[in-house]
């Protein structure tokens, strides 16, 4: 085989796949693969918690209340017109409690946390959920459960549903995403 013939075959083998890929993208034949995550990825980098000084750290499941009125998570007997927000808050605390308790041996790598201006009254019934005094900040995270990596960056957010069946589905979605991210984590925790 002559070198000219070899070079022509080589170019043909290299250019045909490139031309096919270009045509499929240009003509819309390529369909994006479905994502495996269930939460909504945040589009901007947002440091929700301070990064640990010594490296490592824990994953965090963080609930950020939607409004000052919801931050109190009023007790069932004290509910006023904002009962949907209180129900959503209690459902979020229940989800955080169940997720943390259900992690088993991986429980030490995850912290359930509420970021609110006031300590929620309903939190007393959920011993695995901790509280940090933080004024309500980023509107994109309010009223949602946020998955935060060990470096303090918010990654995924999940809407909290007051309906128990939908809340159970959300909890399963969070658990699935959290376990997948923890398995791929290379931070040495």
> Mean pLDDT throughout 110-126?
86
Q: Are 40 and 107 in contact (CB under 8 A)?
A: no
pLDDT over 70 at 119, yes or no: yes
Q: How far is residue 107's CA from residue 109's CA, in Å, rounded to a whole number? A: 5
As a dihedral over the C-alpha atoms of residue 130, residue 168, residue 158, residue 120, rounded to 10 degrees, the angle is: -30
Report the b/e string of 79-92 with b at 16+ CB within 10 A. Answer: eeebeebbbbbbbb
Radius of gyration of the chain (CA): 23
Per-residue model confidence as pLDDT tens digits over 55-81:
668 899 999 887 655 444 655 444 454
> Mean pLDDT throughout 132-151?
85
Mean pLDDT of the chain: 83
pLDDT bucket at 121, cuts 50 / 70 / 90: confident
Given this model, what pLDDT does residue 73 score?
62
Given this model, what pLDDT does residue 136 score?
67
Q: Are 88 and 162 in contact (CB under 8 A)?
A: yes
pTM of the model: 0.74
Q: How far is residue 55's CA from residue 141's CA, in Å, rounded to a whole number? A: 25
Given this model, what pLDDT does residue 71 score?
44
Task: Return the DSSP state at 86.
Answer: H
Q: Are 55 and 31 in contact (CB under 8 A)?
A: no
Q: Are 59 and 178 in contact (CB under 8 A)?
A: yes
């Amino acid at each position: 085989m002559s070198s000219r013939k070899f070079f022509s075959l080589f170019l043909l083998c290299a250019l045909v796949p490139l031309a096919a890929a270009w045509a499929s993208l240009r003509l819309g034949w390529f369909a994006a693969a479905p994502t495996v995550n269930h939460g909504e990825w945040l589009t901007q980098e947002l440091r929700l918690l301070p990064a640990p000084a010594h490296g490592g750290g824990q994953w965090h499941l963080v609930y950020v209340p939607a409004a000052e009125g919801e931050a109190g998570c009023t007790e069932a007997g004290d509910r006023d017109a904002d009962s949907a927000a209180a129900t959503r808050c209690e459902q979020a605390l229940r989800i955080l409690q169940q997720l943390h308790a259900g992690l088993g041996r991986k429980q030490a790598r995850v912290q359930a946390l509420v970021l609110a201006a006031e300590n929620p009254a309903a939190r007393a019934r959920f011993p695995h959920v901790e509280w940090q005094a933080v004024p309500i900040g980023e509107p994109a995270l309010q009223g949602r459960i946020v998955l935060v990596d060990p470096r303090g960056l918010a990654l995924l957010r999940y809407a909290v549903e007051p309906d128990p069946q939908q809340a159970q589905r959300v909890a399963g979605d969070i658990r699935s995403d959290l376990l997948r991210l923890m398995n791929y984590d290379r931070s040495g925790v």
